[in-house]
Structure 1
Amino acid sequence: MKTFFAHAVSRVAMSCMAAAFAVTTASAAEPPSCTQVNMAGPGWTDIDATNAMSGVLLKALGYRQHVANLSVPITYQGLKKGQIDVFLGNWMPAQAPVVKPFEEEKSIEVVHPNLSNAKFTLAVPDYVAAAGVHSFADLAKNADKFDSTIYGIEPGAPANQNIKKMVDDKAFGLGNWKLVESSETGMLTQIDRAVREKKWIVFLAWEPHLMNTKFKLSYLDGGDKYFGPNYGGATVNTVARAGYEQQCPNVARLFRQITFNVDLENGVITDVLEKKASVDMAATDALKRHPELWKSWLDGVNTANGGNGLQAVQAALGVK
């Protein structure tokens, strides 16, 4: 009788443990509202690359990624309104004036830096630098050769706003210069044409980007007030809408841990622009080549339904 009672208690205890395990497993699953991750891309190849790499991981983990093509100011409005969950393109300090109001009202959260050792400022082709243009202060005295024009990216971009402020401030004697706002592709087309014809041109340049290998560039010194020191030395942050980490802790953990590097992004960008690969294929190939990176990104990250995140990504990429 005593033995029977002991076995009965044991069975009850085991049943309770199993039930507790089931509850724990179920609780590890992400809420259904988190399974679609809404992101934004301003049309820059570097952010296309990082969005694509993130998308490969999200799909393997059972999430759906939706990327909206939005300008930077509209992206921050989307984050504030809860329409965008995550943005991987917070270039600092270039975007500081745009981001500051959203940070102060706590409608967005800066998650963490996803890229260091980037740069973002004005540049000229090497033959222009060889002719004596090395800094912002050298532009005005060569105004005729530059047609008093600076080529920027899409209208509304924070970097363009910095250039406009510089012109409005009449800094470096550039008060009568004009800014051509186009798009990344449009600006690159202008650079390509100018380089082929050995014409003088000054434009926004940044790294990581294929332009650094496609063209021989010289970044201009002296623009610290408008682009930051060290030739616009930049950090790119991941930002999220307010409350996202609390509402969707598993996928938010992934984004808190994803950290890219210049060589990785340049590899994806080169495959897309020079080898004509799709951005998704280029991102997948890059991740297959660098499992040491994403294994650390997946530390403690589950699939959307609570499974083993690392094993799911390994299976999807065919990499151990």
Structure 2
Amino acid sequence: MKKTLFILITILFSIAMYGCSSSGDTDNAGDTGSEDKPTLTFGVTNWTSTVPPTKIAGKILENMGYKVEETNADAGSVYTGMSNGDIDIFMDSWFPAQRQYIEEYSDSIESIGVSYDNANSGMVVPKYMEDINDVSDLKGNEDLVNNEMFAIGAGDPAMQDMKKVIDFYNLDIEMTNSSEAAMLAAAEAEMEEENPVLFYGWRPHSMFDKYDLKILTNKEATEEKGLFDASTINVIANKGLEEKAPEAFQFLSNWSISMEDMEQMIAEIDGGANPDEVAQEWIDNNQDKIEEMKNGN
């Protein structure tokens, strides 16, 4: 009887140990699968043009097996974060306006792809200001806009170029710097009354979908100073990305999106659409393009 009991206990103990071993193997296999690819962190500014490409690229990378996080910060902090490795990717770097950051952190960050080009920016007025078409037309007419230009944050590199343009033409205009949202709210309040107004603008942006606007030409200063030429929007990454996530690096190196698609998505999001849903719709409609970007074709 004792022998039989001993045998039963031994069998039960063996079964229990096997069960624990099998359960442990299953858990380890799951952990291994989830840890195959690293977490990638995107820098996200408060510019409307940053959201669509970040959401789209993030969703695609998640489908490729990466974990994705977002860090919200101003442009300077995003570049600093990339330089020290806290941020891996920034989808909305404007050249040449933000060239100073690339030069400053050239040892640790690099441009790896181009989203789109021919994105223009500069001084913007509503089209009903028919006599103001070039920056030079503001000279002597600064009082039309109360000697004020609504602008984005003073720390943005584009504002340094804007200051150079104001100085170049010796305009009696002061910039009122604030967030993008506050700048647009101030400009829109004037346009609702059809008052003359001067503010900073860029494409792609939903402001051009909502209002009849024009970016003032800047012929004289552009020729002599190279200011406000059309911009190229680049994907910037920490130089360790290729080693850290080679498949992600290849995908982002082939990344591209049209300005028309960008403006449509920005307008939808500004109109209240969910950014994740807008991004997913673009993904659903561009599967062939996505495969080309993944495979490097």
The answer, yes or no, to whether TM exceeds 0.5 is yes
What CA distance in whole angstroms lies between the structure 2 residues aligned with 1:221 and 1:246? 43
Return closer, same or farther for 1:293/1:147 CA change in 2, 3 Å cut-off. same
How far apart are residue 62 of structure 1 and its match?
2.0
1:139 counterpart residue number: 138
Is the Cα contact below 8 Å between 2:41 and 2:86 reproduced in 1?
yes
1:85 counterpart residue number: 88
Return closer, same or farther for 1:34/1:160 CA change in 2, 3 Å cut-off. farther
1:210 counterpart residue number: 206
Return closer, same or farther for 1:31/1:117 CA change in 2, 3 Å cut-off. farther
2:240 counterpart residue number: 243
C-alpha deviations, 1:182-237, integer Å up to 9, x for none?
111111112211111111111111111111110101111115236433xxx11101
C-alpha deviations, 1:271-296, integer Å up to 9, x for none?
2112x111111111122122232121
1:71 counterpart residue number: 74
1:298 counterpart residue number: 294
Return closer, same or farther for 1:37/1:50 CA change in 2, 3 Å cut-off. same
1:110 counterpart residue number: 111
1:228 counterpart residue number: 228
What CA distance in whole angstroms lies between the structure 2 residues aligned with 1:147 and 1:115? 35
Return closer, same or farther for 1:87/1:134 CA change in 2, 3 Å cut-off. same
Return closer, same or farther for 1:201/1:91 CA change in 2, 3 Å cut-off. same
2:127 counterpart residue number: 126
Within 5 A, what are the aligned runs for 1:261-280?
261-274=258-271, 276-280=272-276
2:182 counterpart residue number: 186
How far apart are residue 142 of structure 1 and its match?
1.2
2:99 counterpart residue number: 96
Is the Cα contact below 8 Å between 1:140 and 1:172 reproduced in 2?
yes
How far apart are residue 97 of structure 1 and its match?
2.8
C-alpha deviations, 1:137-181, integer Å up to 9, x for none?
1123111111111111134111122223344xx21122x421111
1:13 counterpart residue number: none
C-alpha deviations, 1:209-267, integer Å up to 9, x for none?
111110101111115236433xxx11101111122212321111111111111122122
What CA distance in whole angstroms lies between the structure 2 residues aligned with 1:243 and 1:62? 19
Is the Cα contact below 8 Å between 2:254 and 2:296 reproduced in 1?
no
Q: Which has the larger radius of gyration?
A: 2
* Length, aligned pairs only: 262
Confirm whether residue 54 of structure 1 aligns to residue 57 of structure 2.
Answer: yes
Is the Cα contact below 8 Å between 2:111 and 2:236 reproduced in 1?
yes
What CA distance in whole angstroms lies between the structure 2 residues aligned with 1:228 and 1:30? 48
Within 5 A, what are the aligned runs for 1:159-178?
159-167=158-166, 170-174=167-171, 176-178=172-174
What CA distance in whole angstroms lies between the structure 2 residues aligned with 1:64 and 1:186? 33
Instruction: Please list every run of at least 4 consecutive aligned residues from structure 1 whose deviation after the TM superposition is greater than 4 angstroms.
Output: 29-34
What CA distance in whole angstroms lies between the structure 2 residues aligned with 1:66 and 1:154? 25
What CA distance in whole angstroms lies between the structure 2 residues aligned with 1:135 and 1:82? 42
How far apart are residue 116 of structure 1 and its match?
1.6
Return closer, same or farther for 1:30/1:265 CA change in 2, 3 Å cut-off. farther
What CA distance in whole angstroms lies between the structure 1 residues aligned with 2:226 and 2:295? 38
What CA distance in whole angstroms lies between the structure 1 residues aligned with 2:246 and 2:136? 48
2:251 counterpart residue number: 254
Amino acid corresponding to residue 216 of structure 1 in structure 2: D
Within 5 A, what are the aligned runs for 1:24-39?
32=35, 34-39=37-42
What CA distance in whole angstroms lies between the structure 1 residues aligned with 2:296 and 2:100? 35
CA RMSD of aligned residues (A): 2.2
Return closer, same or farther for 1:119/1:296 CA change in 2, 3 Å cut-off. same
Structure 1 unmatched runs, 5+:
1-28, 302-320
What CA distance in whole angstroms lies between the structure 1 residues aligned with 2:289 and 2:64? 16
